[in-house]
Amino acid sequence: MENGDQEPPRKRFKTLSTGNIEQERAQFELSMTDFTEILSWLPVESLLRFKSVCKEWCSLIETEYFIQKHMSQVTPISLKDNKFQSIKARSFSILYVSDGLLLEKDFAHQNYRLRNPATHQVIYLPNPCLDGILHRGFEFDFNPSTGEGRLVCECLEMDMSRFLAVDKGLKLLNVGRDRSWKFLRRPMWEGKGQVEVVRAYDVDPMRDGEIHFVRIICSENQLSLDVLSFDVRREYIAINTLPKGVFSDFSKGVFPFWWDNRLAVADIIEEGLHVMVLEKYRNQCRWSWSRNKTVIPLRFLGGNIYQKEELVPLEATKKELWFRYGRDLKVCYDMKIEKITQTIALKTNHALEYRPSLRTLRGMRPEHFKERRRIIKREKMDVDQLQQLLGGL
């Protein structure tokens, strides 16, 4: 700051304002902000108990802000951990973990359920009827503005004549609301006559309720790039074909990655990253490709340190662009100063973590001991039946 002539004479003393804390009361009173901080470190069990301290604590613990803050601070448990083994239910296998919820399947009875082991809550789900269809994993989306949770899985069908798995579409369930899974058929790929998928990329995982599948398609000896985009919250599916001529050569492949939480595809041409972003405006269903290519200069490729072939873009935020480099490194490129600022070891898959949370969904009920007993009983029955069967042989 400049010292202009008009500036009033400097005060000799400065006092940090007392705010609205009255000094006498300040004797022993913590503010609600302090309590929010303290409570956010507590395990779920203590929080469920402390909901009955007073109304203010009760409503705080139920807010989305607090649930997310708590989840971000909690120490995650690895799925291989002994601690985790005790959370597992006996007859169920875990298919997917997200937001402190476990998607479990009882293979003997084809029961699906979502369970929060930390709050002892559960909801049984309708069967997605995946018999005869291959399916590729489940994804879960929680929409904080509506409080709704949705499960999605990708459906594939085996084309026996070519020994190829062909994607058919997606199955979707609004947890606690839908009585059955909805099937959303995939629209046709662009192109005429025989259309073949040459290359398939999965961009994982879901972001803000959007899933994208990037495919390079061959039709009449011409390659094109199609993105199958799925808006889970609006239950809308579309194919977005990249305009012709944007990238001259698809044969080497492209790099799909996240650009400011939107899907982008890129290619590294000489010393530049050429990016096309799939834009979507708020309150709109449809996506559209950015008008122009963005070119990020990567001058560090000019030196002899980094090899172009080892570089794979992972994610871009406003200023930072992260690459995977080789097998086990992650480098951060600052797009403003055009320099590599960080190099760190690539973390192993953290999808194999469980974070105990307060997350609850519509229709979730306490996991009663009675119910547990019933499951155990049923297990026993199965053993009895099996023995009978064996005895009969």
Partner 1 sequence: MSSSSTTTTTTRLLMLKASDGVTFEVEEAVATKLGAINNMVEEEGSEDLICLPNVNGKFLGMVLEWCKKHANNNTNSDKGNDEVNKWWDKEFVMDLDQNTLYHLLMAADYLSGTELVDLLTEKVASMIRGKKVEEIRETFKIKSDFLPGQEEEIRKKNSWAFE
**Which residues make up the interface to partner 1 (CB under 8 A)?**
1-2, 10-16, 18-19, 21, 23, 26, 28-31, 33-35, 37-43, 45-46, 48-58, 119-120, 366
Among 41, 92, 164, 168, which residue's Cα sits nearest to residue 371? Answer: 92
Contact 227, 240 (CB under 8 A): yes
What is the rounded distance in angstroms from the CA atom of residue 43 to the CA atom of residue 74? 8
CB of 334 to partner 1, least distance (A): 19
Is the CB of 40 or the CB of 240 nearer to partner 1? 40
Contact 117, 103 (CB under 8 A): no
Is the CB of 34 or the CB of 249 nearer to partner 1? 34
| E strand or H helix that includes residue 357 | none
Neighbouring-strand partners of residue 231: 210, 236
What is the rounded distance in angstroms from the CA atom of residue 19 to the CA atom of residue 83? 45
CB of 98 to partner 1, least distance (A): 22
Q: Fill in the DSSP letter of residue 9.
A: P
What is the rounded distance in angstroms from the CA atom of residue 128 to the CA atom of residue 347? 33
CB of 96 to partner 1, least distance (A): 25
CB of 26 to partner 1, least distance (A): 7
159-177 burial, b for 16+ CB within 10 Å, e for fewer? eeeeeeeebbbbbbbbbbe
CB of 114 to partner 1, least distance (A): 18
Is the CB of 69 or the CB of 182 nearer to partner 1? 69
Is the CB of 58 or the CB of 166 nearer to partner 1? 58
Is the CB of 41 or the CB of 65 nearer to partner 1? 41
| E strand or H helix that includes residue 382 | helix 369-392
Is the CB of 11 or the CB of 291 nearer to partner 1? 11
CB of 366 to partner 1, least distance (A): 7
